[in-house]
Amino acid sequence: MRWREICGIALAIMLCTFGSVAQAQSPYGIGRPATSAEIAGWNIDIGRDGSNLPYGSGSVSRGREVFAQQCASCHGDKGEGGLGDRLAGGQGTIGTPRPIRTVGSYWPYAPTLFDYIRRAMPQNAPQSLSDEDVYAVSAYVLNLNGLVGADATLDAKLLAAVKMPNRDRFVGDARPDVKK
């Protein structure tokens, strides 16, 4: 009986060793460190203060065109919602029993709107819009919510300067393990 246990353990060790060697030599590149170019391709996050916003700009009028082509089928012609979430309206409803969470009523920082659109929209082709088109769609959605004028053109500096109505109503996380 003891002999079977020893042989079983030895076999398990050999299989694990062989498995890890085979995995390291995989033609799929498993375990290979990411290159700087690969990391740069995914390092596209935008801070709430606008840090890391790319160069470029976009107007409300261009945003209206892009929105009609890429967004309206899900979010409605004027951001009223449909298959996708409602994007406009709802101001003043967050503290009510039936809050309407939209960009204009709930979203705390305008630069993170750019970040979300660039990463996730349109849903059938995320990250397919140019930075200029993302600026434009952001400008159009902010205009639908009355936060920028119809003649606005947003760039990194102007987008970061937009003060969202719900910005100061979020409560910080008091847990000691959460960075502030």
Mean pLDDT of the chain: 88
CA torsion sign for 152, 67, 165, 109 is negative
pLDDT tens per residue across span 57-112 = 999 999 999 999 999 999 999 999 999 999 999 999 988 999 999 999 999 999 99
Q: Which residues, listed in sequence order, are joined to residue 155 by a DSSP beta bridge?
A: 57
Helix (H, G, I), strand (E, B) or coil at 28: coil
Helix (H, G, I), strand (E, B) or coil at 19: helix
Q: Which of 95, 86, 85 is nearest to 169 (CA)?
A: 95
How high is the pLDDT of residue 175?
87
- The one-letter amino acid code at 110 reads A
Q: What's the pLDDT band for 46 if we cut at 50, 70, 90? A: very high
Query: What is the widest separation between alpha-carbon atoms in the chain?
Result: 85
Q: Comparing 169 with 59, which gets the higher pLDDT?
A: 59
Token digits for 135? 């600026």
Distances (CA, A) of 31 to 20, 21, 24: 11, 11, 7
Point out the least confidently predicted range of 25-29, 74-78, 139-143, 164-168: 25-29
pLDDT at position 119 over 60:
yes
pLDDT > 70: what percent of the chain?
A: 86
**Helix (H) / strand (E) containing 58:** strand 57-59
Mean pLDDT of 36-55: 90
Point out the least confidently predicted range of 24-38, 89-103, 110-124, 146-160: 24-38
Token digits for 125? 């082709």
Q: Which of 82, 83, 108 is nearest to 94 (CA)?
A: 108
Q: Are 43 and 36 in contact (CB under 8 A)?
A: no
